Chain A
């Protein structure tokens, strides 16, 4: 550990840092809750009980669960393939699967529309068959899967890369098939990575806005997620409604964040 400066020396730099952070981060964090309860608890719960608000929150949670579940499987599989097999184009594929974090989410939404939409490349062909994913919950799920895909990979692949191959090899010689080895040897070792990856995916899905607003059509009681609801209510001037849902969303995110923090802290301690 570096030699820490004494507490007195720290006074000025810490004070300055706080001075910057208070308006930048701490006050906005607080503002959500302050404004949500400005009209009292009764008004807060009233705002939450609105049919559209309840739907938006439930829909958001559902989509977040589904996204986390699908990507937990898909991302783990992708991490396994990328970590265990050597093939041509391996590097290229590694870059492509991580690309979604780098693309603006609105652009993602647009390209999904251009692909699956009624006049899109695939959409045009599928439309007559009655498959119209855009402006439906499925469209929202597709967008969220795309946007959050790298989080799972990023949480699982490093664990897999670091795990010595001798564990698997030991299992193979003992007689375990590839599947049994994955189930009994790799999966338990990956549990932590998968858990934090899934939580991260869940959190990002919960707050996703850019891509969602494009592909959902922002249809009330059909495809409107909580962030879209907040934005819509704000635009309509219903500040109280918007604030109530925003506070719930913020509380949820804090919750997930603290779980992740504690969890990763514990895993650090284990080593």
Chain B
């Protein structure tokens, strides 16, 4: 590998402008970093060149760790958007500069210079000065200058950004030829996706300092894994529907879900159609995937293609992400691109799709409320979940006051490093613990919140948990003592109306953990339980079966639900108890002591509370 970046991080005024970027670029590869302006792509280039210092992470160039080396010894060539040709030197002197610095003998310099000027197509212009050259020519000189001393790596920072379209095209071609001829490993930074597609062997998409996805141009365009990449690259229609029995439902449209992007029943599924895969037809086509009949709201001539936007009636239980619906739009908008000679399309065409792509489920985000003093049992559990769910772990520390935030951040950062959590993000807030956790959850939307107890509260519930429980809408995992990876999961459907969210979430976790599930119902009195209980439990087992989760149900008789759950816990010692919750509610003056709270107070196992709407 020519270039290996590991967890590269750069802070600017406390924000991560480069956020744990890891990347490998092979020998001779032309790699393109693509991102909007301000995404941190140029900073990555500057870090590789040694013009900026990384706060964390390492840079290896040709198996040599250069993280702490100055730019002079890294052996990279860098080309800037503004060319930066030395104005008081001739073209020849510019190209020779690197060799002159290295004390190369004059005849050798001249030979190399002529070679390069020929290569970049500026033979015979050696005596010119920068102000006698066009922008395109200056950039060619900059390229020759950066290649003259045979650097092992070539870095280009928006090299064609300041040039007009035609020159840009010619230069891209030249660059590609030169790069292939010399076989120098190259990273090019750009915001122009055409450029990325044309030049890149592979492309990495950067957003807010994070490397979202890396892949071949075709791969990223037709099979993006995240909606961010799907919408950043090219245009198209991106819809969110639901998974039912292994198929994705978008209103009348039912698409099979490929086995390599598993989705559980009821989970959200995102589908992408590229405009060129959308067909507009005059008559309802038989045997095609039809979205419906719509009206054309916009048509733009774009050379070989005509871009058309069609509005259809909204699909049931389907949400649109792209094209972003304008304010007040209630219909479904679909982007299509048809050959421009096709002028017959008008009025109300039928919309069918030829190809589609189901996106991967986003990695679940797990928030751990971490104790200020010592590594907590919540952190251990958070890590178990992170591993099992292939999720992203964020650790939140809450300082008593603003001044202590920095110290706490450092402590937590060190603890994560020492504890082997290199990928965990550390966040720090100050003030009331419950408020801070709720605020963090609200701003950054996590899928799970994992909390321990700061101190023992005896038989009372930790007031922090109490407050959060009242207001949280996501599953909350409360861990009292150090727990291992759960092998048995107890799902209590004991209370209230038969919940489905708890079975769904519990089942999903069980599947990822490879754990067995026991569905428990606690009956007040002996004898045969009502039919609806049995049928609810049987359906639960069936649902879990469809997730490939082994499960059974049990009906216990006890005077209170709590007692039944406690008895079951003692008998089977499950690794995790899953119970439904009410979700946000207006806090009454007298604390409601429902079964959920009782279980949180008395159970020894970790308890996952799943709000009804989660």
Chain A residues with a Cβ under 8 A of chain B: 164, 166-167, 169-177, 180, 184-185, 188-189, 191
Contacts and interface: CB of A to CB of B under 8 A. Distances in A.
Interface stretch (B95-103, B218-226, B257-265, B601-609): B95-103
B86 A172 contact: no
Top 5 A-B pairs, shortest CB-CB distance:
A188-B88, A172-B71, A173-B78, A166-B84, A174-B98
B78 A169 contact: yes
A175 B102 contact: yes
A184 B97 CA distance: 9
A45 to B, nearest CB: 44
B410 to A, nearest CB: 22
A167 B71 CA distance: 14
B146 A164 contact: no
30 contacts: A166-B80, A166-B84, A167-B84, A169-B49, A169-B51, A169-B84, A170-B80, A170-B84, A170-B86, A170-B145, A171-B86, A172-B51, A172-B70, A172-B72, A173-B50, A173-B72, A173-B74, A174-B77, A174-B97, A174-B145, A174-B146, A175-B73, A175-B98, A175-B102, A175-B149, A176-B72, A184-B86, A184-B101, A185-B86, A188-B89
Given A167-B86, A169-B84, 5 more contacts: A166-B84, A172-B50, A174-B98, A174-B145, A175-B98
Q: Most chain-A Cβ atoms within 10 A of its Cβ — which of B72, B87, B145?
A: B72
Nearest to B49: A173
B82 interface: yes
A180 B76 CA distance: 18
A189 B86 CA distance: 9
Interface in B66-119: 70-74, 76-78, 80, 82, 84, 86-89, 97-98, 101-102
Contacts, number: 65
B101 A180 contact: yes
Contacts of A176: 72, 97, 101
A8 B84 CA distance: 50
Contact of B78 (A170, A180, A184): A170
A164 B76 CA distance: 20
A173 B101 contact: no
Interface residues of B, number: 26
B97 A189 contact: no
Contacts of A164: 82, 84
Contacts of A185: 86
Interface in B129-143: 142
Q: Most chain-B Cβ atoms within 10 A of its Cβ — which of A164, A169, A176, A180?
A: A169
A166 B101 contact: no
Contacts of A180: 101
Contacts of A166: 80, 82, 84
Interface string B335-355: 000000000000000000000
A12 B142 CA distance: 57
Given A164-B82, A174-B149, A175-B149, A169 B71 contact: yes
A193 to B, nearest CB: 13
Nearest to B148: A174
A173 B50 CA distance: 8
A166 B46 CA distance: 11
Contacts of A171: 86, 97
Contact of A173 (B71, B82, B87, B102): B71
A171 B78 CA distance: 10
A238 to B, nearest CB: 51
Q: Most chain-B Cβ atoms within 10 A of its Cβ — which of A166, A184, A188?
A: A166
A141 B49 CA distance: 46
A180 B98 CA distance: 11
Contact of B101 (A169, A175, A189, A191): A175
B153 to A, nearest CB: 10
Nearest to B72: A175
Nearest to A176: B101
Contacts of B102: 175
Nearest to A188: B88
Contacts of B146: 170, 173-174
Contacts of B97: 171, 174, 176, 184
